[in-house]
Chains A and B, each alone.
Chain A
């Protein structure tokens, strides 16, 4: 599975809450399919998704910290 497909599925998963009442099953099926494909391709889908979350979260935390008043110290944990 290439990263574009992983990105698409990450975006879909990101929408799971608003459409949870009707489409979680479809999303879970898509992710399951992608996961099976990732394993077949030797790519760890979960790790790619989690790495993306970590990178985006760290960048967003730093940006929001700079906008906060008073400036917040860097997280120590």
Chain B
């Protein structure tokens, strides 16, 4: 999934550079896209925790211990999410995207893959994977 997300981000960057705004605007779109993915995973996983109203039955629900592990990874991912947004916001208009932006997005992508690997198989997880373009 990581490679696919990076591929999409690269595509967005390449397309954006050719058609709209400058690097800062293109980086903004990449950050917003990455953030949207995290928010979707966050909201979906919360609904899958065992004993939550509407959650699937075991073994398809997320056990409490796994939920805590996922929360730790998502906390890191959201910290990076805020960091990359601050980094892009600090970029002067017209300057090239810094390697730091791509590095932060790459780290988020790794954490997304880790989180997806922790979520048990279910129709909701499958739907989530389709929505974010992963497995």
Residues of B within 8 A of A53 (CB): 31-32, 35, 81-82, 85
Residues of B within 8 A of A77 (CB): 79, 83
Interface size class of B (residues with CB under 8 A): 35 or more
Are B33 and A28 in touch, CB under 8 angstroms? no
Are B42 and A14 in touch, CB under 8 angstroms? no
Are A50 and B31 in touch, CB under 8 angstroms? yes
The secondary structure that dominates the B interface is helix
Are A58 and B78 in touch, CB under 8 angstroms? yes
Are A49 and B81 in touch, CB under 8 angstroms? no
In the complex, number of A-B residue pairs with CB atoms less than 8 Å apart: 135
Which of A11, A16, A72, A75 is the one whose CB lies under 8 Å from B8? A16
Question: With A and B bound together, what is the CA distance between A14 and B130 in angstroms?
Answer: 14
Residues of A within 8 A of B83 (CB): 77
Which of A16, A31, A58, A67 is the one whose CB lies under 8 Å from B67? A67
Question: With A and B bound together, what is the CA distance between A16 and B29 in angstroms?
Answer: 9
Question: With A and B bound together, what is the CA distance between A16 and B28 in angstroms?
Answer: 13
- A18 CB–B CB distance under 8 Å: yes
Which of A11, A35, A58, A72 is the one whose CB lies under 8 Å from B72? A72
Interface size class of A (residues with CB under 8 A): 35 or more
- B95 CB–A CB distance under 8 Å: no
Residues of A within 8 A of B24 (CB): 46
Question: With A and B bound together, what is the CA distance between A53 and B38 in angstroms?
Answer: 11
Question: With A and B bound together, what is the CA distance between A10 and B95 in angstroms?
Answer: 23
Q: Which residues of B contact A (CB under 8 A)?
A: 5, 8, 11-12, 15-16, 19-21, 24-25, 28-29, 31-33, 35-40, 42, 65, 67-69, 71-72, 74-75, 78-79, 81-83, 85-86, 88-89, 130-133
Q: Which residues of A contact B (CB under 8 A)?
A: 10-11, 13-18, 20, 24-25, 28-29, 31-32, 35, 46-47, 49-51, 53-54, 56-58, 60-61, 64-65, 67-69, 72, 75, 77
